[in-house]
């Protein structure tokens, strides 16, 4: 399984309108082979993350898929600033109930995200960065009270990794953040990398399958037409 993640900063006053537009975007991705979509909204900031999961694809099809997705997003480009986007591999996961579905989200879930972005000099050491992150992820997961599942992600093209944790409540998440010293316990392991580390907390505001109101401003058919796509093209990409 691999995911396409988009980080976006809304520029409109009514952020809910932008979230509704992303819901329509999510519906369009279903015809492009997306098997799961989620929208995360930052609890303390104005960042929004859109996440879509696909089955593994060939590099040629992936480039075409990315091009179509970016074309579809131009329909809502006047509502937000695109910060970053790209495909990530989910290369490890843990769950308290021993489930293998560590990446399944539900509306209302509280998620914490640790991300580390390396410099160009770290590009040849992505595997080392990934393994170090995985070791710290597994060690932390065992001691995190109130976390229900987690996953490690690594970028397919850049020295970038991220860990997502799903919490049973926001209180558990705050408790972990306030009582753990991330800099002392984790950063020494990354000394040989030139990393820009970020941390944020999100609430899941939408999961594919939720009811989506019909929005006249961003109909699904218009998004696909503007992207030069169709359901038939979606099936070609999925092969």
Residues 34-69: tens digit of each pLDDT:
989 999 999 998 899 999 988 775 445 788 888 999
What per-residue confidence (pLDDT) applies to 174? Answer: 93
Query: Among residues 136, 164, 169, 170, which one has the least CA distance to residue 150?
Result: 164
Burial of 230 (0-12, 13-18, 19+ CB in 10 A): middle
Domain ranges of the chain: 2-238
Predicted TM-score of the model (pTM): 0.81
Orientation of helix 59-73 relative to helix 15-30, angle to 10°: 150
What per-residue confidence (pLDDT) applies to 233? Answer: 32
Under CATH, what is the fold of the domain 2-238? Answer: Alpha-Beta Plaits (3.30.70)
d(CA 196, CA 19): 28
- The beta-strand segments (E) located in 11-118 are 36-42, 48-54, 80-95, 110-118
Do residues 223 and 28 touch, judged by C-beta distance below 8 A?
yes
What per-residue confidence (pLDDT) applies to 42? Answer: 95
d(CA 235, CA 55): 13
**Cα angle, residue 41 at apex, residues 38 and 46 outer, rounded to 5°:** 145
d(CA 24, CA 75): 11
Tell me the pLDDT of the chain (239 aa) as tens digits: 678 888 888 887 678 889 999 999 999 998 888 989 999 999 998 899 999 988 775 445 788 888 999 999 988 888 888 888 889 988 889 998 766 555 679 999 999 998 888 777 766 777 888 888 898 898 889 889 999 999 999 988 888 899 999 999 999 999 998 887 666 666 667 777 777 788 899 999 999 876 655 544 444 445 545 545 433 333 222 22
What per-residue confidence (pLDDT) applies to 24? Answer: 92
Taking each continuous run of H as one helix and of E as one strand, the counts in the chain are 7, 8
């Amino acid at each position: 399984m691999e995911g396409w993640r988009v980080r976006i900063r809304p520029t409109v006053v009514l952020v809910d309108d932008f979230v509704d537009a992303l819901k329509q975007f999510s519906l369009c991705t279903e015809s492009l082979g997306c098997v799961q979509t989620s929208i995360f909204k930052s609890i303390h900031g104005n960042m929004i993350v859109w996440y879509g999961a696909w089955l593994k694809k060939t590099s040629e099809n992936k480039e075409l898929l990315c091009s179509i997705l970016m074309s579809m997003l131009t329909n809502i480009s006047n509502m937000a600033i695109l910060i970053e986007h790209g495909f990530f591999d989910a290369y490890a996961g843990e769950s308290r109930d021993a489930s293998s579905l560590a990446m399944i989200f539900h509306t209302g879930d509280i998620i914490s995200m640790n991300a580390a972005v390396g410099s160009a000099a770290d590009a040849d050491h992505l595997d080392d960065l990934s393994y170090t992150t995985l070791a710290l992820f597994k060690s932390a997961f065992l001691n995190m009270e109130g976390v229900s599942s987690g996953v490690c992600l690594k970028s397919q093209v850049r020295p970038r990794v991220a860990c997502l944790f799903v919490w049973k409540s926001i209180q558990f998440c705050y408790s972990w953040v306030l009582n753990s010293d991330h800099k002392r316990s984790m950063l020494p392991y990354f000394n040989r990398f030139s990393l820009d580390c970020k941390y944020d907390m999100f609430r899941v505001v939408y999961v594919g399958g939720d009811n989506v109101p019909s929005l006249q401003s961003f109909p699904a058919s218009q998004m696909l037409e503007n992207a030069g796509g169709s359901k038939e093209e979606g099936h070609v990409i999925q092969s």
